[in-house]
Each structure stands twice: as structure tokens, then as C-alpha cells.
């Protein structure tokens, strides 16, 4: 009987370890990932997308977003720590810490975080682990009796889902994670203007670019499409995608390999139209 109990304990231990959570699942960070939020009560729409990832060491990467030419975040992969603000690189999230943990974002002024709870929630029609972080300002570190300045929710496989504060909140309306769309994307903002789902559209950023560029396009309906890159004299350089996609906003990355600097064109073909967008590649 004792041997059976020991064997069962070993089996359960192996099963439990195999189901352990990867803390970085709460912070997806693929090139081209996109998140769109709606702020209430103003209904303002904001969109952010990862446009560049630089590896600076075996364990550390810098993450760039479409709204900033400088890196916005630094990720220490082994320790699952996300740092913000390149001027000081303070710890924004410590994803490897357990529930009830506290860490200081910045000591002056007092700005710290309490990992309040973790539970299963239905997000985008799927049950996902959700973390609730309480963020405190100008309150002594560890004093959780006061009201937090904001509450932040991170969702497994999605990232930042919601932020609430007194009198308002910002909620994720839709996102594209590793090429898969969740929720609803209303429009995609970039440096110049936006893409709406009322027509076929295609844009890229950064443009000009010197390493890689993200090509984003919107479809107003289910369509058979192809997306190809051509050089200035019309030679096909790269096929990014060919197949059927439903209505929505999508993104593809083009990273030139042997191509020389110059002007290129990305062409989106559907069964109804052909749309061309100019790219400028600078080595």
C-alpha cells in the first residue's frame, strides 16, 4: 500500500510540474502583436503594436512599439521581469513572483505593486488565468489597507486586459497575438492615421525601415487574398501570405535578407481589388 501511495505521489508531482504556468504567458511579445483598448467613459480608442525586438544578451531583449522610436520595455527572460522607461529601467512587472507578493516600481515617489489574486476568468469566450495587480501611489510600501491608485489585470496568453482607476477604465477590445485575432478590432492607429474595416486597406510601419517592417491590412469581408513584395521593376521578391481570411485586421512582417536598399511595393490582391503600398528599405 505504501508503495502505491509513493507511486501516486510521484505521478501527481510530475503532472503538476508539467502544468506549471510560464510567467511570460502573461506577457506575449511576438513581433507584430497588437492590442487595442477602449477607454471609458471617453470611448477613446488606443492601439499599440510591437514593431521591433532587439536581443541585447542571451537573457535580455528590448521591445519597441509603433508609438515610440525608442525601446519602451526591457524583458529579462530568465527572471520574467519587465522593465519600463529606458531612462531608469524600473521593474514594471515581476511575473515570477507568487500571489500576495509586493514589489517597488519606484521608491521616489512611493510607487509599488501588490499581486492581489489569480483566478480563472472567461476572456474572449475562453477560460484563462487572470492576475489582478493593485498599484499604489504615495502610500507606504506594504500598506494595503488604503485604496490603490489603479488595478491592472493581466490575462494568460493575452497580456494586459484591463486597467481601472477612480472614475474610469481602459479595456481591451481586441488583439492579435502571434497572428491570431481575439475580440474585435475597430481601427488600427499608426503615426499618420487609422485603418477602418469599411474597406480593404494596407499600411506599414516603420516606413522607411532598416531591419524589418510590419505590414498591416484590413479586410471588410471574407476573401481570398495574396500579399506579395515586389521590387521597383516588378520582380516578385517575397510572398508573405496566400489564402482565405475573414474580415478583420491582420499583420505580417517582412525582414529583407539579401535585398538591397531601395523602393519596394507590397501588393494586396483580393477577388475584388488590388492595393499597392510603397516601402522604402534603408540598410
221-268 pLDDT, tens per residue? 888 899 999 987 788 899 999 999 887 788 889 999 889 988 898 988
In a domain, 132, yes or no: yes
**Which CATH number is 203's domain given?**
2.60.40.1930
Do 164 and 77 sit in the same domain of this protein?
yes
pLDDT higher than 60, residue 161: yes
Is 5 part of a structural domain of the chain?
A: no
pLDDT exceeds cutoff 90 at 160: yes
Residues 144 and 27 in one domain: yes
- The number of distinct structural domains making up the chain is 2
The boundaries of the domain holding residue 152 are: 21-183
59 and 160 part of one domain:
yes
Which range among 101-105, 151-155, 166-170, 270-274 shows the weakest confidence by mean pLDDT?
Answer: 270-274
Please state, in angstroms and as integers, the Cα–Cα distance from residue 161 to each residue in 46, 172, 227, 236, 262, following that order.
Answer: 13, 5, 31, 40, 40
> So what's the pLDDT on residue 202?
83
Asked if residue 170 and residue 30 are part of one domain, the reply reads yes
pLDDT value for 74 = 95
pLDDT in the model for residue 270:
82
33-65 b/e (C-beta count within 10 Å ≥ 16 → b): bbbbbbeeeeeebebbbbbbbeeeeeebbbbbb
Q: Which of 183, 207, 240 is the last residue of a domain?
A: 183
Q: For all residues of the chain together, what is the average pLDDT?
A: 84
Is 199 found in the same domain as 178? Answer: no
pLDDT at residue 7 greater than cutoff 60? no
Are 83 and 212 members of one domain? no
Mean pLDDT of 7-20: 41
Domain co-membership, 197 together with 157: no
pLDDT at 63 over 70: yes
Amino acid at each position: 500500500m505504501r508503495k502505491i501511495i509513493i507511486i501516486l505521489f510521484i505521478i501527481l508531482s510530475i503532472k503538476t510540474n508539467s502544468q506549471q504556468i510560464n510567467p511570460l504567458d502573461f506577457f506575449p511579445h511576438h513581433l507584430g502583436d497588437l492590442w487595442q483598448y477602449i477607454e471609458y467613459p471617453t470611448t477613446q480608442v488606443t492601439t499599440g503594436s510591437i514593431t521591433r525586438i532587439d536581443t541585447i544578451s542571451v537573457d535580455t531583449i528590448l521591445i519597441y512599439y509603433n508609438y515610440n522610436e525608442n525601446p519602451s520595455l526591457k524583458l529579462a527572460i530568465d527572471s520574467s521581469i519587465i522593465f519600463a522607461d529606458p531612462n531608469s529601467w524600473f521593474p514594471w512587472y515581476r511575473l515570477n513572483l507568487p500571489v500576495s507578493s509586493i514589489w517597488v516600481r519606484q521608491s521616489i515617489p512611493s510607487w509599488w505593486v501588490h499581486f492581489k489574486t489569480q483566478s480563472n476568468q472567461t476572456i474572449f469566450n475562453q477560460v484563462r488565468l487572470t492576475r489582478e495587480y493593485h498599484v499604489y501611489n504615495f502610500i507606504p510600501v506594504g500598506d494595503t489597507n488604503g485604496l490603490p491608485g489603479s488595478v491592472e489585470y493581466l490575462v494568460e496568453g493575452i497580456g494586459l486586459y484591463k486597467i481601472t482607476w477612480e472614475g474610469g477604465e481602459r479595456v481591451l477590445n481586441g488583439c492579435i497575438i502571434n497572428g491570431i485575432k481575439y475580440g474585435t478590432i475597430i481601427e488600427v492607429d499608426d503615426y499618420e492615421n487609422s485603418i477602418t474595416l469599411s474597406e480593404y486597406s494596407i499600411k506599414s510601419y516603420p516606413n522607411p525601415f532598416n531591419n524589418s517592417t510590419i505590414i498591416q491590412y484590413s479586410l471588410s469581408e471574407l476573401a481570398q487574398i495574396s500579399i506579395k513584395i515586389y521590387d521597383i521593376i516588378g520582380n516578385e521578391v517575397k510572398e508573405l501570405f496566400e489564402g482565405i481570411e475573414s474580415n478583420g485586421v491582420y499583420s505580417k512582417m517582412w525582414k529583407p535578407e539579401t535585398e538591397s536598399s531601395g523602393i519596394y511595393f507590397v501588393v494586396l490582391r483580393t477577388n475584388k481589388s488590388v492595393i499597392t503600398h510603397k516601402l522604402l528599405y534603408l540598410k
